[in-house]
Amino acid sequence: MLHASGLEKRYGNRRALGAVSFDVDPHGFLVITGPNGSGKSTLLRLCAGLAVPTGGELRIDVARERVGFLAHEALVYRELTALENLDLYGRLYRVEERRERIGMLLERFGLWDARHKRAGAYSRGMLQRLALCRVLLHEPALLVLDEPHSGLDDEGLHLLERELAERREDVTVVVATHEPERVLPFATSRLALG
Amino acid sequence: MSYLADVGALARKDLLLELRSRDTLPAMLLFVLSSFVVFHFVLPTGTDRLAAQGLLWVAIVFTALLGLARAFSAEREQSVLDGLVLATRDLSAIWFGKALSILAFLALAEVVALPVFGLFFGRVELRTVAAVALADLGIAAVGTLLAGMAAASRARELLLPLLFLPLVIPLVIGGVGATVADHPSSYLGLLALYDAVFGLVAWGSFAYVVAE
Amino acid sequence: MTRALRQQRLPILAVVACALMAAAIASIAYVAPVDANQGLSQKIFYFHVPIALTAYAFFAWGAWKALRVLWKRDEAADLESYVAIHQGVIFGVLTLVTGSIWAKISWGVWWAWSSNQLVLFLVLFLFYAAYFMLRYSVDPGPQRANLCAVYALFGVALIPVSFLAIRLANDFIHPTVFTSNGPQMSGRMFFAFCLSWAAMLALAASLYHVELAGKRLDSRLRELREVLAR
């Protein structure tokens, strides 16, 4: 699914990621750990197809629109409601039976009652849950998660773990985290940076 | 077809955002009307009517600049642009949708501004309206791309006018020519040529502005 | 052999440029006739026009390299495009300066809005000056390369469209050199003109390679420092 060898990313003369190699099989689960500044986020942006490597090789066997990317920020419009945000993404991803799918996700992540509220008025935990809805909306084949645990409350953590356990057989997952013990039960491989 | 649906969804979102926050269009309207008042005092009594007609184009370009400076501000917060880049199949749809919404704001501002200009400085002829319509297309096409560039830089709002003004000089020449010259057709032709050339270049190159 | 030749390219180019320049100056002085109307001062033509044409050549070269950045993802082309545009701006400023001097001598004013060529170069100067503003307000990397390349491509679209627009805006009263009937120059004038253009191009190519080599060296040095700092 993912194949990297000697992967390197530079910005000008600054090296953000140096010579990383790994393989992730289909339905594999890669856990990336490492201190701040070790290049975790850079590596995830590469895996999501948002950045291109400056050296080495990276093969991603999945189209860009089949990737679900959870970033540090929620990637939603603050002035739009949760429903409007997900509707826009649903249209762009061309999700079939969009309304039903959005309703189901909002329900599952406990945001249904707040669906007409502006995303800007959400708490950090709710925003992170909305971001998870956005990530899962188009049933991605590759999940790229950057620090999914930060900002999530206990209920959110529980929902995320349930989601990962349920979809274990359908998706390939790359996750960078400060709390590897939370996802290690799912892990098929591990990569330590820095 | 689905490309146009993407463009529609993105443009609709911009209009919705504007409807909710109401910060761009009122600012553009207020700006263009204030500039007319400034023009009155800039032009000494007895100045040719043509001078005011030329200044109309100054007002249009700077009003557009005001709107363009905010074009990507909603995307920059929360780095939504990354999300759009991942979700949109053909990245030029992002440019297309944004250019349409800019065009709508500009046209709405001018629907108010042109009659007011006529009231203050004498009749606005049909050829002026045609030139403004053609120039709007070019301004929206080029301006959206440059606003995307400026949004990716550190200088942001500071950079946009520097990138934008040299590029719209042909539009100003075409617009003023179509407004005041004896034979406006060649100037209208220049505006149409500009729209076609720069519309194509902007449409084709936008993907490189938002993605590596 | 070819490798040795490549390493020696810059000195060879510089020597050729010097020789051509000397020949050009000699032919401007002795071969080209003195203009009947403008007298000796018309000879600035042999500098002004080749410098302007060289500036265009640089902008076109910069755009070509920019196209390679976008099309082939050629990383080295980003620096080449930048250097070409940098040199183009230098030659553009020289065009403005020589044009201004010529305007002063023939029309008595330092600046003439009626001179389409000068106005066009002013627009281009502003446009490409903004290129540097753009370049220095984005962090180095592929995104900067893309942004700069797109902007450089807009430049080659802007040149003909602006030319047309400025021509429309004004009557064409700058001395016409080429008409549809071919060059209006005598054989000796044309020879001196072509020689000085060739000299200018050779000089431009040497300057381009000097700056490029310097920039590359600088980049290598930074990379080494980065490695050492680890």
Q: What SS3 state is found at A95?
A: coil
d(CA B143, CA B209): 13
First and final C-alpha spacing in chain A: 24
- The full set of domain ranges for chain A reads 2-62+141-192
C130 pLDDT higher than 90: yes
Q: What is the pLDDT of residue A63?
A: 86
Is there a contact between B141 and B18 (Cβ–Cβ < 8 Å)?
no
What CATH code is assigned to A2-62+141-192? 3.40.50.300
| Contact: A50, B86; criterion CB under 8 Å | yes
The ipTM assigned to this model is 0.93
Q: What is the pLDDT of residue C5?
A: 65
| Contact: A50, B77; criterion CB under 8 Å | no
Rounded alpha-carbon distances, angstroms, from residue B201 to A111, B6, B88: 43, 20, 20
d(CA B164, CA B63): 12
| Contact: B208, C146; criterion CB under 8 Å | yes
A116–chain C Cβ distance below 8 A for any pair: no
Smallest CA–CA distance, residue B16 to chain A, in Å, is: 8
Smallest CA–CA distance, residue B180 to chain C, in Å, is: 11
Q: What are the residues facing A146 on neighbouring strands?
A: A176
Q: What is the mean pLDDT of residues C40-52?
A: 90
C182 pLDDT higher than 50: no
Q: Which of C146, C221, C226, C227 to mutate to test the interface with A (most CBs of A within 10 A)?
A: C226
C230 pLDDT higher than 80: no
Q: Find chain C residues with C-beta within 8 A of A52's C-beta.
A: 73, 142
Q: Which residue has the higher pLDDT, C5 or B36?
A: B36
Residues 6+ apart with CB under 8 A from B205: B145, C70, C150, C153, C154
Q: Find chain C residues with C-beta within 8 A of B166's C-beta.
A: 123-124, 126-127, 130, 158
| Pairing state between β C178-179 and C182-183 | antiparallel
Which of B45-54, B182-191, B200-209, C134-143 shows the lowest per-residue confidence on average (mean pLDDT)?
B45-54
Instruction: For A116-160, write each residue's pLDDT tens digit.
Output: 999 999 999 999 999 999 999 999 999 999 988 887 888 888 888
Q: Using the 8-state DSSP alphabet, how is residue C34 labeled?
A: P
Q: Find chain A residues with C-beta within 8 A of C144's C-beta.
A: 12
Instruction: For C159-173, write each residue's pLDDT tens digit.
Output: 999 999 988 886 433
Smallest CA–CA distance, residue B101 to chain A, in Å, is: 16
Residues 6+ apart with CB under 8 A from B57: B135, B172, B175, B176, B179
C210 pLDDT higher than 90: yes
Joined together, the tokens standing for residue C135 give 């370049």
Instruction: For B118-163, write each residue's pLDDT tens digit.
Output: 999 888 899 999 999 999 999 999 999 999 999 999 888 899 999 9
Q: What is the pLDDT of residue C184?
A: 65
Which of A12, A51, A52 is closest, CB to CB, to C140?
A12
B9–chain A Cβ distance below 8 A for any pair: yes
| Contact: A76, B10; criterion CB under 8 Å | no
Instruction: For A83-120, write each residue's pLDDT tens digit.
Output: 999 999 999 999 999 999 999 999 999 999 999 999 99
Smallest CA–CA distance, residue A90 to chain B, in Å, is: 9
Which of B177, B197, B209 is closest, CB to CB, to C168?
B177
Instruction: For C82-129, write each residue's pLDDT tens digit.
Output: 999 999 999 999 999 999 998 888 888 898 887 888 899 999 999 999
A93–chain B Cβ distance below 8 A for any pair: yes
B83–chain A Cβ distance below 8 A for any pair: yes
C181–chain B Cβ distance below 8 A for any pair: no
Q: With cut-offs at 50, 70 and 90, classify the pLDDT of residue C205.
A: very high
Helices (H), C108-141: 116-136
Q: What is the pLDDT of residue C180?
A: 41
Q: What is the mean pLDDT of residues C200-217?
A: 94
Q: Find chain A residues with C-beta within 8 A of C222's C-beta.
A: 13
Domain that holds residue B59: 2-210
| Contact: C141, A15; criterion CB under 8 Å | no
The B-side interface with C (CB below 8 A) comprises: 142, 145, 149, 152-155, 159, 162-163, 165-167, 169-170, 173-174, 176-177, 186-187, 190, 193-194, 197-198, 201, 205, 208-209, 211-212
d(CA C79, CA B209): 18
| Contact: B9, A91; criterion CB under 8 Å | yes
Give the E-state strand segments of chain C in sequence order.
178-179, 182-183
Q: Which of B163, B169, B186, B188 to mutate to test the interface with C (most CBs of C within 10 A)?
A: B169
Q: Find chain A residues with C-beta within 8 A of B5's C-beta.
A: 91
Chains B, C: CB contacts within 8 A come to 91
Percent of chain B, pLDDT > 90?
A: 77
A92–chain B Cβ distance below 8 A for any pair: yes
Residues 6+ apart with CB under 8 A from C155: C59, C62, C63, C85, C124, C127, C128, C131
A89–chain B Cβ distance below 8 A for any pair: yes
Q: Which of B78, B85, B86, B96 to mutate to test the interface with A (most CBs of A within 10 A)?
A: B86
Smallest CA–CA distance, residue C225 to chain B, in Å, is: 26
Q: What are the residues facing C179 on neighbouring strands?
A: C182
| Contact: A11, C223; criterion CB under 8 Å | no
Q: What is the pLDDT of residue C4?
A: 67
A11–chain C Cβ distance below 8 A for any pair: yes
Question: Closest residue of C to B161, CA-based?
Answer: C130
Is there a contact between A174 and A165 (Cβ–Cβ < 8 Å)?
no
Q: How many domains does chain B have?
A: 1
C137–chain B Cβ distance below 8 A for any pair: yes
How many of the other CB atoms lie within 10 Å of CB of B192? 14
C218 pLDDT higher than 50: yes
Q: With cut-offs at 50, 70 and 90, classify the pLDDT of residue A44.
A: very high
Mean pLDDT of chain A: 90
Q: What is the pLDDT of residue C176?
A: 47
| Contact: A51, B2; criterion CB under 8 Å | no
| Contact: C219, A15; criterion CB under 8 Å | no
Q: With cut-offs at 50, 70 and 90, classify the pLDDT of residue C2.
A: low
Q: What is the pLDDT of residue A24?
A: 92
B178 pLDDT higher than 70: yes
